[in-house]
Structure 1
């Protein structure tokens, strides 16, 4: 039986207006540009891509930490993109976030006791006499103890601070957590500990994750499905195992080729992308990836590709898999991808 859809994103856009040039002309930076995807209950869904592709902005927009320019955000069957402030604030005990920088996300003037007590107080969770017990239990679950309660964030290591950030998110017993690069600021040895902790918490509390990362080795280890973003758009979506075994989009192929080998005897052909990522304030016409794509055709420069579905929900937005007059060039590109 297929799991229910917990979160559905429909044609989401987030534009930031900036001034440019001598005459301060107003233009839009298309941080998130018309993306759609869904997250099922109990799964870990990943957003992956290079820095600046719009992953973090997508996560913050879903939680309404920044308001969307257009589109729909449907959480548990309810449209939340235009909810009034008070209603959205009340809903946030069901939707939480783990931030990238574990130090910047914790108030340096508050003890761990105060940091973990605050969400319980704000959302009026549990009777007052039970809150300290809940905090102590949560600290034990994330690998800390009661003796840490009256310490301040600067007294902990990076890994310990991220455990505190995770505890703060989970203590409200939410349905959905957005994890924004939660291990990228940590040492490799600590990364695996935090990843395993998140997987254990998911199993124990029935959590659903939106996991944002640029590290494909982490994505491969802990996610169920992956959406690949480039310049504010989603270019490919698939089950994790299917994506790594059979990447369709040239950008996805390049990202996977950059994952470090796991054994000295392993051979891998690295795909090197030339050129720079275009500006989201002035994206190229047609396919946004055509300026760096080794298989770009004339149609790529003129027409934006539509989503092509292959099997089991595997979709890619690429002209290599749609009808065009350049059949010989397409066949060569596909056979050499």
Structure 2
């Protein structure tokens, strides 16, 4: 983790900038299968990722976290908005131009078994990106594969085996090694430990932290476990129904959450101190469908502090204090209530 990001005393270098990013999926209907609507999976999301930091993204299932990560990497083409990586707008460039950026942007997937080709050996899986992207001899590629396996705590003989011969934690280590093959600057980790046993989760997180220091990596860490995000991240963004509800340094956001949704999420986190009581905030109703989101604030159908303006007007994502942003009418300067 980057110590300069918690207090924001320095001006860290921006590695990735997301500006009003949208990803809509068409909904087809009728005999002619015409577009009759859209699933707004990511809807006008704006934030920056600083070089060397870990930015955690949290939210309920269906909030758009994974779609956001895949869209940033251009695994999905954005509907609108900007993705600026190292001062280059990669939002609309073709696959040929995008190829050079893929070396510097990699992903660790949630399911380590599904993301590894069962017909390829571990050595072949890690070596494949080097064959495509780097001009290395067979000997150099083999040495690189062995080195990466050792970096993630796997032995050299792992190279000859296949993914089904390993446990979930070991497969995720292999996935991490593959992500490091091209020496990337940015890694998007899509719930990398959610499919693992609790005892293994800490080992993988500690490995990722060590690799971040060694390789000067920047992480966009997507998760639903708020305790894991607090332990691993420098800053935290909270998503709800495709939009960013709140974003700030983890110490500020966990101690002083502003958005009612953030407060509800944090109230559900177990507290290890039995003598410490926490008032749990219950969210009533279901998460609305992203194909038919509510008017106004997307959270107003479940919010206990809803006002008329919340139902009619989408709140702006504004900075309330240094580095702490929130999209909520409770904190706008004009009094419309």
> How does the TM-score come out when normalised to structure 1?
0.94
The structure-2 alpha-carbon separation of the partners of 1:28 and 1:147, relative to structure 1 and needing over 3 Å to count, comes to same
Note the aligned Cα RMSD (angstroms).
1.4
Q: Following the alignment from structure 1 to structure 2, what is the Cα–Cα distance between the partners of residues 22 and 303?
A: 36
Which of 110, 122, 142 is matched with 1:132 structurally? 142
Residue in 1 aligned with 2:12?
A: 3
Per-residue deviation, 1:256: 0.6
On the 8 A contact 1:125/1:172 being kept in 2, the answer is no
Contiguous gaps of at least 5 residues in structure 2? 1-9
| Secondary structure of the structure 2 residue equivalent to 1:149 | helix
Per-residue deviation, 1:312: 1.8
Which of 220, 245, 266 is matched with 1:235 structurally? 245
For residues 154-212 of structure 1, what are the alpha-carbon distances to aligned partners after superposition, in whole Å with 9 as ceiling and x for unaligned? 00000000000000001211010000000000000100000010000000000000111
Residue in 1 aligned with 2:220?
A: 210
| Secondary structure of the structure 1 residue equivalent to 2:66 | helix
- Is 1:13 matched up with 2:9? no
- Is 1:103 matched up with 2:106? no
For residues 48-81 of structure 1, what are the alpha-carbon distances to aligned partners after superposition, in whole Å with 9 as ceiling and x for unaligned? 1000111100100011101000011000000001
Q: Following the alignment from structure 1 to structure 2, what is the Cα–Cα distance between the partners of residues 308 and 170?
A: 35
Moved more, 302-311 or 102-111: 302-311
- Is 1:201 matched up with 2:211? yes
- Is 1:145 matched up with 2:159? no
Moved more, 4-13 or 260-269: 260-269
Which of 171, 190, 193 is matched with 2:181 structurally? 171
For residues 130-160 of structure 1, what are the alpha-carbon distances to aligned partners after superposition, in whole Å with 9 as ceiling and x for unaligned? 2211111111111110111111000000000
Corresponding pairs, count: 326
Per-residue deviation, 1:19: 2.2
For residues 221-242 of structure 1, what are the alpha-carbon distances to aligned partners after superposition, in whole Å with 9 as ceiling and x for unaligned? 0101111100000011100111
Moved more, 237-246 or 308-317: 308-317
For residues 248-267 of structure 1, what are the alpha-carbon distances to aligned partners after superposition, in whole Å with 9 as ceiling and x for unaligned? 00000011111112233332
Residue in 2 aligned with 1:265?
A: 275
Per-residue deviation, 1:294: 0.7
Q: Following the alignment from structure 1 to structure 2, what is the Cα–Cα distance between the partners of residues 176 and 325?
A: 42
Residue in 1 aligned with 2:132?
A: 122
Moved over 2 A (4+): 19-25, 125-129, 263-266, 323-326
The structure-2 alpha-carbon separation of the partners of 1:112 and 1:277, relative to structure 1 and needing over 3 Å to count, comes to same
Per-residue deviation, 1:23: 8.7
Q: Following the alignment from structure 1 to structure 2, what is the Cα–Cα distance between the partners of residues 299 and 160?
A: 51
Pairing of 1:15-30 with structure 2 (within 5 A): 15-20=24-29, 26-30=36-40
Per-residue deviation, 1:20: 4.6
The structure-2 alpha-carbon separation of the partners of 1:125 and 1:40, relative to structure 1 and needing over 3 Å to count, comes to farther
Q: Following the alignment from structure 2 to structure 1, what is the Cα–Cα distance between the partners of residues 31 and 157?
A: 58
Which of 289, 311, 335 is matched with 1:324 structurally? 335
The structure-2 alpha-carbon separation of the partners of 1:125 and 1:42, relative to structure 1 and needing over 3 Å to count, comes to farther
Which of 50, 65, 76 is matched with 1:66 structurally? 76
Q: Following the alignment from structure 1 to structure 2, what is the Cα–Cα distance between the partners of residues 135 and 84?
A: 30
Contiguous gaps of at least 5 residues in structure 1? 327-337
> How does the TM-score come out when normalised to structure 2?
0.94
Which of 212, 224, 246 is matched with 2:256 structurally? 246
Residue in 1 aligned with 2:50?
A: 40
Q: Following the alignment from structure 1 to structure 2, what is the Cα–Cα distance between the partners of residues 61 and 17?
A: 16
